[in-house]
A and B are shown apart, each in its own frame.
Chain A
Amino acid sequence: MFSYNFKYELKSLLRSKWLILLTIILLTLVLFAGYSGKKKVNKRVFDIEKANNTVKEQDITVLKVLDSIEKGFVINQNLRSLPTNPMNIGYSYPRVAAMYPLETAFISTGQSDLFTHYVQPKAYGDSFFFNHAEFSSPIQLLFGSFDLAFVIIYILPLIIIAFSYHIFSLEKENGSLKLMASQPISIYKWILQKTMLRFFVLSVIVVLVLTIAFIINNYNFVENLAEYLYFLLLTLTYILFWFTVVLLINIKVNNSAKNAVSLLAIWVFIILIIPAIIAQAANTFYPIPSRTKMITDVRALKDDVSKKQDKILDNFLRDHPEYASNKKQNYSFWHKYLASQDLVEDEVKPLIKSYETQLLKQQQWVKLWQYSSPAIILQQSFNDIAGTSTTHYQEYRTQVAKFSAKWRDFFVPLLYNNEKFSTKLYKQLPTFEYKKPKYTSLLFKASIVLIMSMFFLLITRILFYNKSKKGTIIN
């Protein structure tokens, strides 16, 4: 009986225009999303490369000058800006601390439009105040990006709803359900098979279309196979979840128009309302301390410290670091600056940390409550796969702060030992490499979505049983 059912449903699916329309819509959406995602990633790489190239060019000139000085040639250059002064290198020739996109970055824009992907920490300046905000049109941020994650999380369920909202009720309304009941197959088995067949067909189309998008984007399947498979697995469990919801509503409501309305309400709740409520709750329970207050606090603190600094640092030099290296005294501006900088940083640390901890707490809250909506689970997982989650950027910020300290610390001994900077030391300059953080197992997340689907399926079975006992399934 299964094969009859399967054959009939497949034939009627293939014959209807729905399937072609569905494929075309999905293909267009996915290809456009994949294309614009890739375009963003390319721009990101291009920007980083450009900065890297500038550094390389500068390096060549500086190395030449250093080489000439070491060989004893006379250099026609302003004495203050000679690269033999280590602090000049530390201030004027910073490295690029870049966060290169992962191969999978095109999947989900995540937080990547908010934050910068490369900074150049200098030996001078507040490393804790490092500005990680990116220049982008706020309207763009408000509307968000059209990426693969959006197509899968928002649009795919709507397609499933539009495709199957009357999968059962239509049979009842057309009167074919009564005929079906006279056949030697249980109605429940039959509708389950019918739904699963649709799930199967849609899954094949989605996997195909997504794979095409990956291939077009030159995805390296050999190296990043796991990410690709996880991405598909999550998408498939999400599709399954929505089909079980559709089935449940079909059995429960069993009226085409009412089905559609109920399904839509569920869509709005799972995708719009629940995430908004959880985000709001995170802000309410773990409010980020006021930045306005922080600004005034930090300034008051700096004011305090600078009063202490006055003993070691004379005002003029603090305002004019560029004069400092000119002074031929034992303790230059840099000596005093670096000393006072540590003082400021130590004092400000707890304040700055309060923001990071609060954000961490918010994230833990979201991590816990993401299981209230498969849409959140998917968004979080996609951001994790794409390397564009809040955690990724927070990790990057931490790594940059560490690198910034390392960069400064590289020059401190040179400065205090009165050592000159040389070509040999140039090779030892610290470099930055971004290491991505670990995240919750994707397999675990996929299985949670699967369990949700199974739960809905179970409820459907119970409902069906109760309804058929009462005899309200067919009539």
Chain B
Amino acid sequence: MIFHVVKKELQETLRDGRFKISTAIVFVLLTVSLVLTFNQYQYNNAQYIEAQKNERSLWEEQGEKNPHSAAHYGNYVFKPKSPLSLIDQGVEKYTGISIFLEAHNRNEAQFSNASDQTALSRFGELTPSFILLYILPLILILIGYDAYTKELEKGTFAILKSQGISNTKLLFGKWLSVLIPIVTITTLLFLFGGLILSNTSDIGVFNWEALGVLYIVYLIYYLILTNIVLFISLIAKKSGVALVSSLVFWVLACFITPKIASNIADSKYPYPTNQEFSKRVAEDRKKGLDGHNPWSEEAKKLEEEVLRKYNVDSVHKLPFNYSAYRMQKGEEYQAKVYAKHYSWLDEQAQKQEKVYKSTSMISPFLPTRFLSMAISRTDYQSHRDFSEKAETYRVKTQEFLNGLTEKNSRYGERYVASANAWKKLPKFEYKPPPFSQILNSNTPMMLILIVWFAVTGAVLFFINKNH
């Protein structure tokens, strides 16, 4: 019996001109977006590889130089593209691509794409995730809004019931027939995306597992939406009303709630301005040791300490270059100051995330959006992970460079390292966190999504029983 319902409904959908046109448009949009993002992806990837190579050769060919000069010269690290950014680019447009690592300062990632584009790019972009998140739900509404109301309007409901079908079976049939077209489109997209990714060289950490989980997340999203659309169709008396109500839900869930959530998060836990943040850091830095300032109180304290420890009366008698030692101590203090302020920033971001999580109760769009970004490794968390690892590398680089001077020269000497010294600095290799870790940290979002499905499913089931 369910089979008959599904067959009839699907046939009806397939014959519908509106469905044909909209699916055709969605297919065109999907293809275009996939081609565009793939081209962009390859372009960025090629540039990333080239830039990294150039950057390293610039670093290695500095020639004879004082290591601290090299530290000021600094190096750039670049963020690799994640393979699944093909599906969801997340916040990548708004986070920078490269971080400049130098002595004394921790720099933010620079040059986000968004700041290099016109205001128009803020409307949205033609990417697969845009279609998956916004347009497919719309098609789903289009297919399902009149699933029940049309039976009422055409007077076929009584006839249908006289065939001896139970409410539950009818619901299940309708449910399947709304879902099947959407699932087909999604499956095709993911299969195609997976094939592209697995056949492209230079792929970072692409695995089918992540793509599979991403696929499941979107499926759950569509299951939830199907529940809601059918629920509205069940309780509405007219097709028009059902359609408008479903659309109101769509606008609320996909457009209004995220914006309101971001407004609340921002006004409740605001970020400091760029200048304000640097000022705070500068103030804290003043309180401690500065490697360039041997006259400060902190510097004198350190000197006394070191002299006492090595039991000598002058820094000249120390077995290492004391000024490099002081430089390193200053570096360590500054790194600590940065760590403190950045962890405060991190806390602020996490508090904001809590706001988003709590608004996820109102809109199934939000948990899907966040999970999709997280699994694609294009969310804020991935960016922070990259930025933290770059900072660790910066601190280690300073240690390496100051160590060169410290070990190879005496106090008061101007040490010039040989031209081949720079090659000894280990390369920066960004290793993104393993997939299991991403899954673990996103379990709450996953649970919210499942709760959404369970609750809407249960409501739909009970309303239908008493219909």
Residues of A within 8 A of B8 (CB): none
Contact with B along A112-125 (1 / 0, CB 8 A): 00111111100000
Q: Are A268 and B135 in contact (CB under 8 A)?
A: yes
Question: Which B residues lie at the A interface, using CB under 8 A?
Answer: 18, 22, 29, 36, 47-48, 50-51, 54-55, 58, 65-66, 68-69, 72, 76, 78, 90-91, 93-98, 100, 108, 110-126, 130, 134-135, 138, 142, 145-146, 239-240, 243-244, 247-248, 251, 255-256, 258-263, 265-267, 270-277, 279, 292-293, 295, 345, 349, 352-353, 356, 380, 383, 414
Q: Are A257 and B239 in contact (CB under 8 A)?
A: yes
Bound Cα distance from A359 to B308, whole angstroms: 61
Residues of A within 8 A of B352 (CB): 137, 139-140
Q: Are A261 and B18 in contact (CB under 8 A)?
A: yes
Tell me, rounded to whole Å, the shortest Cβ–Cβ distance linking B310 to chain A.
Answer: 26
Q: Are B125 and A276 in contact (CB under 8 A)?
A: yes
Q: Are B263 and A116 in contact (CB under 8 A)?
A: no
B94 partner, pick from A132, A138, A155, A283, beta carbons under 8 A: A138
Bound Cα distance from A303 to B55, whole angstroms: 12
Residue on B with the closest CB to A116? B274
A296 partner, pick from B54, B65, B142, B265, beta carbons under 8 A: B54
Tell me, rounded to whole Å, the shortest Cβ–Cβ distance linking B163 to chain A.
Answer: 25
Residues of A within 8 A of B113 (CB): 288
Residues of A within 8 A of B345 (CB): 135
Stretch at the interface among A179-187, A376-384, A425-433, A450-458: A376-384
A-side interface mostly: helix
Tell me, rounded to whole Å, the shortest Cβ–Cβ distance linking A356 to chain B.
Answer: 10
Q: Are B265 and A137 in contact (CB under 8 A)?
A: yes
Residues of B within 8 A of A316 (CB): 66, 414
Q: Are A139 and B272 in contact (CB under 8 A)?
A: no
Residues of A within 8 A of B96 (CB): 133
Q: Are A275 and B123 in contact (CB under 8 A)?
A: yes
Given contacts A158-B247, A282-B118, A315 and B66 within 8 Å (CB-CB): yes
Give the one of B93, B267, B275 with max A CB within 10 A: B275
Q: Are B262 and A280 in contact (CB under 8 A)?
A: no
Q: Are A143 and B120 in contact (CB under 8 A)?
A: no
Bound Cα distance from A375 to B123, whole angstroms: 10
Q: Are A145 and B262 in contact (CB under 8 A)?
A: yes
Residues of B within 8 A of A39 (CB): 267
Bound Cα distance from A36 to B261, whole angstroms: 12
The 5 closest A-B CB pairs, nearest first, are A138-B91, A275-B123, A138-B94, A291-B111, A146-B259
Question: Which A residues lie at the B interface, using CB under 8 A?
Answer: 32, 36, 39, 43, 47, 50-51, 54, 78, 110-111, 114-120, 131-146, 150, 154-155, 158, 162, 165-166, 256-258, 260-262, 264-265, 268, 271-273, 275-280, 282-284, 288, 290-293, 295-296, 299-300, 303, 315-316, 318-320, 322-323, 355, 359, 362-363, 366, 375-376, 379-380, 383, 389-390
Q: Are B69 and A144 in contact (CB under 8 A)?
A: no
Tell me, rounded to whole Å, the shortest Cβ–Cβ distance linking B130 to chain A.
Answer: 7
Residue on A with the closest CB to B65? A315
Given contacts A111-B119, A292-B48, A359-B116, A146 and B251 within 8 Å (CB-CB): no
Residue on A with the closest CB to B111? A291
A137 partner, pick from B115, B142, B380, beta carbons under 8 A: B380
Tell me, rounded to whole Å, the shortest Cβ–Cβ distance linking B22 to chain A.
Answer: 7
Q: Are A137 and B118 in contact (CB under 8 A)?
A: no
A366 partner, pick from B65, B97, B120, beta carbons under 8 A: B120
Interface pairs (30), CB distance under 8 Å: A36-B267, A51-B275, A78-B295, A120-B275, A133-B96, A134-B273, A136-B271, A138-B94, A138-B380, A141-B114, A145-B263, A146-B260, A256-B240, A257-B240, A260-B243, A260-B244, A271-B123, A272-B123, A273-B29, A275-B123, A279-B120, A282-B118, A288-B113, A290-B47, A295-B55, A295-B76, A296-B76, A316-B66, A319-B69, A323-B292
Residues of B within 8 A of A119 (CB): 275
Q: Are B274 and A276 in contact (CB under 8 A)?
A: no
Given contacts A261-B243, A268-B135, A137 and B271 within 8 Å (CB-CB): yes
- Having A162-B244, A257-B145, A319-B68, one finds 12 other A-B pairs with CB under 8 Å, namely A110-B119, A133-B274, A134-B273, A135-B272, A136-B271, A143-B259, A146-B263, A279-B125, A291-B98, A291-B116, A299-B58, A390-B119
Q: Are B251 and A155 in contact (CB under 8 A)?
A: yes
Give the one of A43, A110, A158, A279 with max B CB within 10 A: A279
Given contacts A135-B274, A158-B251, A292 and B47 within 8 Å (CB-CB): yes
Residues of B within 8 A of A292 (CB): 47-48, 50-51, 78, 97-98
Q: Are B275 and A322 in contact (CB under 8 A)?
A: no
Bound Cα distance from A110 to B122, whole angstroms: 8
B239 partner, pick from A32, A256, A265, beta carbons under 8 A: A256
Q: Are B69 and A315 in contact (CB under 8 A)?
A: yes
Tell me, rounded to whole Å, the shortest Cβ–Cβ distance linking B122 to chain A.
Answer: 6
Residues of B within 8 A of A322 (CB): 292-293
Bound Cα distance from A319 to B259, whole angstroms: 46
Residue on B with the closest CB to A383? B119
Residue on A with the closest CB to B58? A299
Residues of A within 8 A of B255 (CB): 154
Given contacts A138-B383, A142-B91, A143-B261, A362 and B135 within 8 Å (CB-CB): no
Give the one of B72, B108, B247, B267 with max A CB within 10 A: B247
A257 partner, pick from B76, B108, B243, beta carbons under 8 A: B243
Residue on A with the closest CB to B150? A257
Tell me, rounded to whole Å, the shortest Cβ–Cβ distance linking A384 to chain B.
Answer: 10
Residue on B with the closest CB to A388? B119
Q: Are B123 and A279 in contact (CB under 8 A)?
A: yes
Bound Cα distance from A313 to B58, whole angstroms: 21
Bound Cα distance from A145 to B66, whole angstroms: 49
Q: Are A355 and B98 in contact (CB under 8 A)?
A: no
Bound Cα distance from A156 to B251, whole angstroms: 12
Bound Cα distance from A279 to B114, whole angstroms: 11
Residues of A within 8 A of B292 (CB): 320, 322-323
Residues of B within 8 A of A383 (CB): 119
Residue on B with the closest CB to A44? B273
Given contacts A114-B115, A257-B240, A140 and B265 within 8 Å (CB-CB): yes
Residues of A within 8 A of B146 (CB): 257
Residue on A with the closest CB to B90? A142
Bound Cα distance from A120 to B76, whole angstroms: 25
Bound Cα distance from A273 to B352, whole angstroms: 30
Tell me, rounded to whole Å, the shortest Cβ–Cβ distance linking A315 to chain B.
Answer: 6
Q: Are B262 and A132 in contact (CB under 8 A)?
A: no
Tell me, rounded to whole Å, the shortest Cβ–Cβ distance linking A99 to chain B.
Answer: 12
Q: Are A389 and B123 in contact (CB under 8 A)?
A: no
Residue on A with the closest CB to B116? A288
Residues of B within 8 A of A320 (CB): 292
Q: Are B125 and A280 in contact (CB under 8 A)?
A: yes
Bound Cα distance from A78 to B296, whole angstroms: 11
Bound Cα distance from A264 to B134, whole angstroms: 13
B349 partner, pick from A50, A137, A162, beta carbons under 8 A: A137
Residues of A within 8 A of B48 (CB): 292
A166 partner, pick from B68, B95, B240, B273, beta carbons under 8 A: B240
Bound Cα distance from A318 to B138, whole angstroms: 60
Tell me, rounded to whole Å, the shortest Cβ–Cβ distance linking A316 to chain B.
Answer: 7
Given contacts A50-B276, A134-B274, A272 and B134 within 8 Å (CB-CB): yes
Give the one of B122, B146, B259, B292 with max A CB within 10 A: B122
Residues of A within 8 A of B108 (CB): 131, 133, 135
Bound Cα distance from A284 to B39, whole angstroms: 11
Tell me, rounded to whole Å, the shortest Cβ–Cβ distance linking B380 to chain A.
Answer: 5
Bound Cα distance from A279 to B40, whole angstroms: 14
Q: Are A138 and B118 in contact (CB under 8 A)?
A: no
Residue on A with the closest CB to B352? A137
A300 partner, pick from B22, B58, B145, B239, beta carbons under 8 A: B58
Residue on A with the closest CB to B29? A273
Q: Are A133 and B259 in contact (CB under 8 A)?
A: no
Q: Are A295 and B51 in contact (CB under 8 A)?
A: yes
A140 partner, pick from B58, B76, B262, beta carbons under 8 A: B262
Tell me, rounded to whole Å, the shortest Cβ–Cβ distance linking A436 to chain B.
Answer: 16
Q: Are B98 and A295 in contact (CB under 8 A)?
A: yes
